[in-house]
Structure 1
Amino acid sequence: MGNDSAETGLDRFGLLTRMATFIALAGIVASLVVLPVIGGIGLATRNSANAFSELPSDLTQVPLPQQNTIVDSNGDILAVLFAQNRIEVPLEEISPIMQQAIIAIEDQRFLSHAGVDFRGTLRATISTGAGGQVQGGSTITQQYVKQILLTAATTKEEQEAATARSINRKIREARYAIALENKLSKKEILEGYLNIAYFGAGSYGVEIASRRYFSKHANELTLSQAATLAGLVQNPSRYDPTQYPDRATARRDLVLQAMVNTGYITQAAADEAQAVPIATDLDAAELPNGCTTSVAPYFCDYVLTVLKNDSVFGETPEDRARLLEIGGLTIKTTLDRKAQDSSQTAVEAKIPFDDPSGKAASITMIRPGTGEITAMAQNRKWGRSGIGYTTVNYGAPVSANGTVGFQAGSTFKAFTIAAAFKQGWDPFKVINSPAKKKFENFIECGTGEKFAPYEVRNSTSSGAFDMLSGAAYSVNTYFVGLEEQIGLCDPAEIAKAAGVQQGNGQDFEKFPCFTLGCFDVTTLDMAEGMATFAAHGMHCNPIAINQITDRYGNELDVPSADCKRTIDLQVADSTAAVLAGVIEGPVQGRTGQAMNLGRPAAGKTGTTDSSAAVWFVGFTPDMAAAVWVGDPRGGQKYPMKGVTINGRYYSQVFGSTMPGPIWRDSLIGALEGTPKTPWNLNTLSGVNPGGFGNKITATKNRCAGLEGKELIKCVSESQAKKYAAEIASGAMIIDPLTGKAIPNPNAPVTQPPTEPPTEPTTP
C-alpha cells in the first residue's frame, strides 16, 4: 500500500457513508446511555444526551477570512492585508503527500468513519469526565466543525462556546460532524480542513503555510516539508520550526512514522526524509500585512481609510470592518506606477528622507476629468519612530490619517483670477501695485461691514501690473487690490467649487488675506482644485479605487468621482490661460519660468510669511499636481529660511526654488512617452494660453471678425487710447505681436527673480 494515495481511499468511500453514519450515531447514543454508571459523570452525560438530541444538525458555513489584495491601475500588487492570512486552494492544488501526512497524524481512520471516531471519542469522553481535562479523539471532520464555528462566531459568547473545554462542546461538534459527512464528500471535508487549519506564524491554511515556511506553493511540498506542516496543527507555537527546530524535527519524524504505519509511505522513504535537517528544508519568508512595505505606503494607507470610512462599503464602521476581515477582495486602485515612481524620486532627490533639516515634501497627482489619484508621495518612510519615518500622510486631510494642512500662500491667487473672470474683469486692466499698501475698503461678505485696514507689501518696487504680469510675478499688492475691487465672496466660492477646502474639512472664511493663502490646505485638495481648471471647470471628487471584486468575481460598488460642472467653462479656461503664462508666457523673470515641461503647462507658485510653507501647483491638459515643502513640526517655528537642505544652504526658500522643480520633474517622468496634448481652451475675449499669445480672438469688442495684422492694429489702437497715461509715463508699451498694452520690461521697476513671500497671512 506504500504507493497508494489519499485520493484512492477518497474515491472508494462511496455509498458506505450513510450506513457508517447510522452506526456512528448509534454508537454515540449508546455511549451516552452507558457512561452514567462511570464515576460521577452521570448527570453531565445525561445533560449531554439531551443536548445531543436537541442540537440542530445543519451547520452554517461562512466564508473563510482571506487576504485582500491592493493593486495599481495595471494590476501589479501594492499591498496585501488580512485579518487571517489565508489563500484558499482546491484539493488538486495541495500535494497528495500533504493530504496523506495530515490524515496519518490527525485522523488515521478519516476515510472510514462517518464524522466521529467512536473509540477515540469514547476514550476522550471518559477521560474528560474522570479527570476534568478534555482529551484528544477529535476527527478531522470534528476539527473542521470546530474551526467553522469559531470562524462564524461574532460575539464573545459564541467564541467561548466554540472553544470551551467541555463535554457539551464535544457533543455539539459530533452532531455537526455527522451531519457534515452526509452533506459533503471526504474530498470536500479534507479540502476545507486544510484551508481552515492554523499552522502558526500567522499562517492560515496550507497554501500560506507553505509560502511562509518554505517559500513555495502547497502543491510543491516535499515529503519532509509536508510532514513538518502536518505536525504543526496540534500545537503551532510549540513546534514552530523557525523557533524550535529540535521540537519540530521530533514532531516531523513522528508524522513520518505515522505515514509508514498507515501505509502511505515506505520505511525507506521515511528514513530518507528524516535525514533531511529542518534548517535545510526551511526557506522562511516574512509575509507582510498592510501598507508598510508597499512601494506607495501613503497612497495605500489612503485607500484603507476610504475602505474603512466610506458608507458605500457598509452602513456602519462594524460593517466595513467585517468586509475587510472576511476579505477575498481584489482592490484595483487608480495609482499610476510611473507617476508614483517619478514623484517619489523627485521628492527624495530634493530632500532625502533622513535629511538633518527635518524638512518634508509632499506631492499629489490627479488625472483631470476623472478624479483619479495617480500619485501620492512624500520624502518619508512608513514607520512610527526614527528620523524620516512617519505614518502621517502629509498630502491628505485629517479625516484620512493626514494633517490639517499647511498655509497655501500665493497659490490661492488662482481662485482670485477665476473670481475676477466670473465678474467680467478685464485682464488687461492695470492696477498700480506699490511695494507696500494699506487697503481700507474691504467689505465683509454678506454683512456689508467694513474690515479694518489691511496692510500688504511685496519684495518689489512699485509698478503697474495687469493680470498676466501680476500672476507671473506673483505681486501681492496687485492681487489684494484686485480682491478689494471684486469683493471677498467669489474667490472663496470659486475655491469651494473647485473642490478645495481646509485640511480640517471646514469651508474657508472670507477674509482679505484669502488671496494670499492664509488658510491651511493639503496637496490632495490643491491637486483637486487644479484638476478642475484643467478639466474646463468640471469638478470630480478625488477617487483612489476604480474597481473591487470579491472572491467570487463579483464587482462591488465603489465611491464615485461624481464629475459635474462647477465653474463656468470660459472662466475656468481663461484662468488656465493666465496660469499658463506663469510657465510659458512672454513675461521675463516670471516665477514659473524654470518649470517648463516641454509641453503645454500651467502653474502657480506659493510662498507664505517667512517661507513657513512653500508650494507649486499646476497642470497640463492630462495631469494636475500640487507640491508642498515645509516642516511638519510647524512652519512658523521652523521656517524655510536660513536652512541647509540636502547639503545646500538656502537663505530663503521660495515656491520656485524647491516645490517647482519637484513638480516639474515629477510631471516630466509621469508623462514621459505620452502625447503632448495641446491646450483646447474656450476663453474669454483676448485671453489665450501662454500669456494671451499671438493667436488672439476678439469676440466681444469692435475688433471682432478681424484676423492677423488687421486684428493687431485694431487692438493696439484701442489699447493705446485705454492706457494712454501709462504708455506716456513709460510704465506700459504696446506689444507688437498682440497689440496689447503690457508692462514695460525696461521701466525703472525691479521685478523679483523669484516669487515674493506673502505678508501678512492672517486677517
Structure 2
Amino acid sequence: MAKKRKNQTRIEPSMTRRNGLRASAGDRVAGGHASGKRKGGSTKRKAGSGRRKSRSGSARRGLTGFLQRSLYWCFVIGLWVAIGVGALVAYYGAKMPSATTWTVPERPPNVKIVSSDGHTLANRGATGGEALTLSRMSPYIPQAVLAIEDRRFYSHFGVDPIGLARAMTQNVMAGRMVQGGSTLTQQLAKNLFLSPERTIERKVQEVLLAFWLEYNFTKDQILEMYLNRVYFGSGSYGVEAASRRYFKKPARDVNLAQAALLAGLLKAPSRLSPARNPDAAEARAQIVLEAMRDEGFVTDREITTAMTREPTRAKSYWTGAENYGADLVMDRLEALIGGKVTRDLIVDTTIDYRLQQQAEKTIRGAIDHSGTKLNVSQGALVSVDGSGAIRALVGGYDYSVSQYDRATKAKRQPGSAFKPFVYAAALEMGRTPQSVRNDAPIRIGKWTPSNYDEKYRGPVTLSEALSSSLNTIAAQLVMEAGADNVAKTARRLGIESKLQTNASIALGTSEVTLTELTAAYAPFMNGGYKATPHIIKRVRTADGKVLYENTYDNPPRVLRPEIIAMMNGMLVRAVNEGTGRKARLGSHQAAGKTGTSQAFRDALFIGYTAHLTTGVWFGNDDSTPTRKVTGGSMPALAWRSYMEAAHNGSSNARLPGQYNVPSDPSRVAVPMTRPADGVVRRPAGAIGDTPSRQWSGDVAQERTGSTSRRAPPADVGSRNTDETTTLLDIILGN
C-alpha cells in the first residue's frame, strides 16, 4: 500500500513547464487519428469563413449605422433650415402689408388710335399697346412663352420645385448663372409689385405674392396678365405693343416664327430686340422653336417652315407715317376730354387708312427718286376734306428717323401759294378775273418786287396774272386791297399764324404751317365755308362711353359764292395752263397754286378737287436751298400721283361756282376817260389784242400767237359793272 501511495504522489502544476497546459492535436480531436489533420484543416477553413462573415456583417451594420446617422443629422439640419427659412419668411412677410389689402395694380392706360375705316393706326401710353385676352392673340404666342419659360405652368402652385432644382443643377454644372428657376407667376409678381433688385427679401416676397396670385386668379388670367405687361424691348410692353412694334401687325396675326421671336426676347429684351440685334433675336427664336417641338406644341414640318422665313429686322424706332397723326392726336386729346388720360381710351380719327398709305408712299417715292439729285431731304403732305377733316398726314420722310412733324409744326414761307388770299381780298373789293393790271417794274417804298423770270408782260388780266404767278400784279393788289384786309381774309379762311401786314405779304413771306395753308384752300372747294383742320372725330372709353364727338357739320361761311366761283375759275386755269400744269388730273377737275420761297428753300403745291384739298411741301430741315425746285415741279408731280390714287373709284364732280375764265384771254386795251365827277374809270368789257402765252413751271415763256376780239364773260356776283381806277392805278400806269 505504501508503495502504491508513493507512486501516486500528486504533482502540482507548474507555470514553468512550457507544455503543461498546451493541448496537442490529439487532445483537440477525439481519437487522435491521422485523419484528424484533414478534418482539422477543414474545420480551420470553416472557422476562417465564419470570421469573414462576421466582418461582412459588421460592415453592413456599420453602413446601416452611417446611413441612419446621416439621415438623422440631415433631418436635424433640414429641420433647423426649415425653421430658419420659416423665420425668414415670417420676418419678411411681416414687413409686407396685410394680404387682405393686396390688389393687382391697374395697367397704365392705353390710347388706341383708329382710322376712319377701322384700322389701328397706333397705340399710345406707357405700355404702347392695349390689353388682350388669350382668345384675341395668336395661339402660338402663349405656347412659345410656356415652352421656353415655364413648361409646368398649368401644374405647379406658383413655385416649381422641379424647375428650381433643375435650374440649380444646370447653374452648378456650368459654374455660372445659365438658367432661372422662377415661374411665370413669380415673374408676374415681380413685375406687378416689386423692384428689380436681387435681394433675399425681394425673393421671399416674390414667392409669397406668387402664392397669392395663384390663389386669387385662374391660370389663364395669370398668363393674360403676364403677356399683357411683360417687357419685350424697344419700349414695348405686352404682346400687342411688341407685335405692332416689330411686325407692324396685331398680335392675333402673328405667325409661328414671329411668336418664337417674341418669346425669345423675354430672356434679355433690350439685348435681343430685333431693332438692336436681329441676328441674336433670330438665334434665340430657333431655341424657342425646338422647345415648342419638345413640348408637342408644333410639328417638325411647322418648324421647318418657320425656320425658312427671313429674320425680322425692325427699325430702331416706331416707323410708319401714321405715327405723325397719332402724335397729333395725343397733342390735342387732353384738351378735348378735359384732363389727363386715366383709363383706356379709343380715339376714332378722320384718317383714311388707304389714303394714308398712299400719302406715305408718294412722299418717300418722290424723295427716293429725285431727292439726291435735287438736294431735297424732307417732304410733307396733308390732305383734308371739305369739313377740314384730315384724311392723310405725312410729317416727314421717315418717322423712325425723325419724329418732327413738318406738316403741322414746321412754319415755312408759302411763297406764291399765298397769292389766292390776295386775289380773294381783291375780288371782294369788286375786282374780277378780267380786271386788267400792268405787269411792269414797280417800286413800293424800298421794295421792288420782280417776277420769277425777271420779265414783264404789260397789261394782263388778273386771271392770267394768277395763272402765271406774276409777283408785280400781286404786289399791286395788296396795295389796292390793303395788307390788313389781305391778312383778315387769310385769317378768315383759316390761316392762324402771325402775318406781317406789309406789301411783301403778297409774295408769301410770312411763315405758316402746311396744314393751316391747306385747310385755308378748302373753302374754295366746299363752296365758301370754314374748314377747321381736325383729326379727332370721337373719343370713347373701352366700354363704349363717348367722351367727345364733333362732326364739324355747321361751319361758318367765309367767302360769298360769287367769290368762290371766280377763284375756282382762276385756279383751275392755273392748273390747266399755268405754273401748276404738272398737277393736271385726267378725269377730275383740279385747281391749285404753286409756291416757291426765296432761294428755292421751299417748294409747295396746294391743290384741290371737289373731294379733297391736298398740300405738298419739299425742302430741307436746315433751310438749305434745293437745286431750283419750284412748286410746279416736284411738289406738283407728287400731288398728282397722290390725288390720282386717292380719286381711284371716285365719281367725277365739278367745283362749285364754275366761273368761265377764258383759257387764252386777249389782253385788254384800256382807254382812259375822266368823267365830270373826277374819278377815273375803265370801261367794262374793253378788249384789246394780246399775244398768247405758254407756261412751264413757274417760268413764263412767251410765244407770239394770233389775236382775237371777244366779249368777256359775265362777272358773277360783281358789285358793279365798271371798275373804279384807284390813284395807284394811275401812278403805275394801269
State the TM-score, normalized to the length of structure 2.
Answer: 0.63
Given the alignment of the two structures, is residue 524 of structure 1 paired with residue 515 of structure 2, yes or no? yes
Given the alignment of the two structures, is residue 628 of structure 1 paired with residue 617 of structure 2, yes or no? yes
- Give yes or no for contact 1:93–1:219 (8 Å, CA) kept in 2: yes
| 2:192 alignment partner in structure 1 | 148
Q: Secondary structure at the match of 2:475?
A: helix
- Give 1:516 shift: 1.3
Distance 1:235 1:657 in 2: 50
Cα shift readout 1:153-189 (whole Å, capped 9, x = no counterpart):
xxxxxxxx43344454455455555554454334433
Choose the corresponding residue for 1:669, options 635, 645, 658. 645
Given the alignment of the two structures, is residue 355 of structure 1 paired with residue 372 of structure 2, yes or no? yes
| 1:243 alignment partner in structure 2 | 280
Given the alignment of the two structures, is residue 396 of structure 1 paired with residue 408 of structure 2, yes or no? yes
- Give yes or no for contact 1:733–1:744 (8 Å, CA) kept in 2: no
- Give 1:515 shift: 0.9
Distance 2:363 2:108 in 1: 42
Q: Secondary structure at the match of 1:243?
A: helix
The 5-angstrom pairing of residues 393-542 of structure 1 reads 393-397=405-409, 403-405=410-412, 407-425=413-431, 428-434=434-440, 436-439=441-444, 452-458=445-451, 459-461=454-456, 463-501=458-496, 506-542=497-533
Task: Give the number of aligned pairs.
Answer: 595
Write the letter of the residue equivalent to 1:605.
T
Check 1:347–1:527 CA distance in 2 against 1; reply closer, same or farther (3 A cut). Answer: farther
Distance 2:272 2:621 in 1: 47
| 2:11 alignment partner in structure 1 | none
Choose the corresponding residue for 2:635, options 655, 659, 670. 659
Distance 1:573 1:230 in 2: 60
- Give yes or no for contact 2:144–2:263 (8 Å, CA) kept in 1: no
| 1:569 alignment partner in structure 2 | 560
- Give 1:412 shift: 1.8
| 2:689 alignment partner in structure 1 | 744
Q: Secondary structure at the match of 1:676?
A: coil
Distance 2:288 2:582 in 1: 68
Check 1:236–1:72 CA distance in 2 against 1; reply closer, same or farther (3 A cut). Answer: closer
Distance 2:309 2:437 in 1: 73
- Give 1:310 shift: 4.0
- Give yes or no for contact 1:615–1:659 (8 Å, CA) kept in 2: yes
- Give yes or no for contact 2:112–2:130 (8 Å, CA) kept in 1: no
| 1:301 alignment partner in structure 2 | 324
- Give yes or no for contact 2:478–2:506 (8 Å, CA) kept in 1: yes
Q: Secondary structure at the match of 1:341?
A: helix
- Across the aligned residues of Structure 1 and Structure 2, the Cα RMSD in angstroms comes to 5.6
- Give yes or no for contact 2:351–2:535 (8 Å, CA) kept in 1: yes
Distance 1:575 1:192 in 2: 62
The 5-angstrom pairing of residues 211-222 of structure 1 reads none
| 2:705 alignment partner in structure 1 | none
Write the letter of the residue equivalent to 2:280.
Q
Write the letter of the residue equivalent to 2:408.
A
Distance 1:96 1:628 in 2: 44
For structure 1, list consecutive stretches of 5 or more residues without a partner in the other structure.
Answer: 1-32, 125-132, 150-160, 260-268, 385-389, 398-402, 440-451, 642-652, 682-687, 695-718, 727-731, 758-763
Cα shift readout 1:699-739 (whole Å, capped 9, x = no counterpart):
xxxxxxxxxxxxxxxxxxxx99x95549xxxxx999xxxx9
Distance 2:350 2:479 in 1: 44
- Give 1:372 shift: 2.4
Q: Secondary structure at the match of 2:280?
A: coil
- Give yes or no for contact 1:291–1:301 (8 Å, CA) kept in 2: no
Cα shift readout 1:625-669 (whole Å, capped 9, x = no counterpart):
22334454435xx3544xxxxxxxxxxx55434433443443233
| 2:590 alignment partner in structure 1 | 601
- Give yes or no for contact 2:264–2:284 (8 Å, CA) kept in 1: no
- Give yes or no for contact 1:540–1:562 (8 Å, CA) kept in 2: no
Q: Secondary structure at the match of 1:356?
A: helix
- Give 1:225 shift: 12
- Give yes or no for contact 1:497–1:566 (8 Å, CA) kept in 2: no
For structure 2, list consecutive stretches of 5 or more residues without a partner in the other structure.
Answer: 1-78, 168-176, 674-680, 701-734
- Give 1:454 shift: 3.3
Distance 2:651 2:609 in 1: 11
Choose the corresponding residue for 1:189, options 222, 233, 236. 222
Distance 1:97 1:671 in 2: 40
Distance 2:134 2:463 in 1: 67
Check 1:199–1:622 CA distance in 2 against 1; reply closer, same or farther (3 A cut). Answer: closer
Write the letter of the residue equivalent to 1:311.
E
Distance 1:221 1:680 in 2: 51
Q: Secondary structure at the match of 2:408?
A: coil
RCO comparison, higher one (Cα < 8 Å, 6+): 1
Write the letter of the residue equivalent to 1:745.
T
Write the letter of the residue equivalent to 1:486.
A
The 5-angstrom pairing of residues 16-415 of structure 1 reads 38=84, 47-51=91-95, 54-63=98-107, 72-76=115-119, 83=127, 88-90=132-134, 102=146, 106=150, 111=155, 113=157, 141-149=185-193, 161-170=194-203, 172-173=205-206, 176-193=209-226, 195-197=228-230, 243=280, 286=312, 288=314, 292-294=318-320, 297=321, 299-308=322-331, 310-312=333-335, 319=340, 332-335=349-352, 337-338=354-355, 341=358, 344-345=361-362, 348=365, 352=369, 354-359=371-376, 362=379, 364-377=381-394, 380-382=397-399, 384=401, 392-397=404-409, 403-405=410-412, 407-415=413-421
Check 1:553–1:353 CA distance in 2 against 1; reply closer, same or farther (3 A cut). Answer: farther
Q: Secondary structure at the match of 1:355?
A: helix
Q: Secondary structure at the match of 1:148?
A: helix
Distance 2:239 2:696 in 1: 65
| 2:45 alignment partner in structure 1 | none
Cα shift readout 1:119-152 (whole Å, capped 9, x = no counterpart):
9999x9xxxxxxxx9x988665444333332xxx
- Higher-Rg structure is 2
Q: Secondary structure at the match of 2:443?
A: strand
- Give 1:80 shift: 6.7
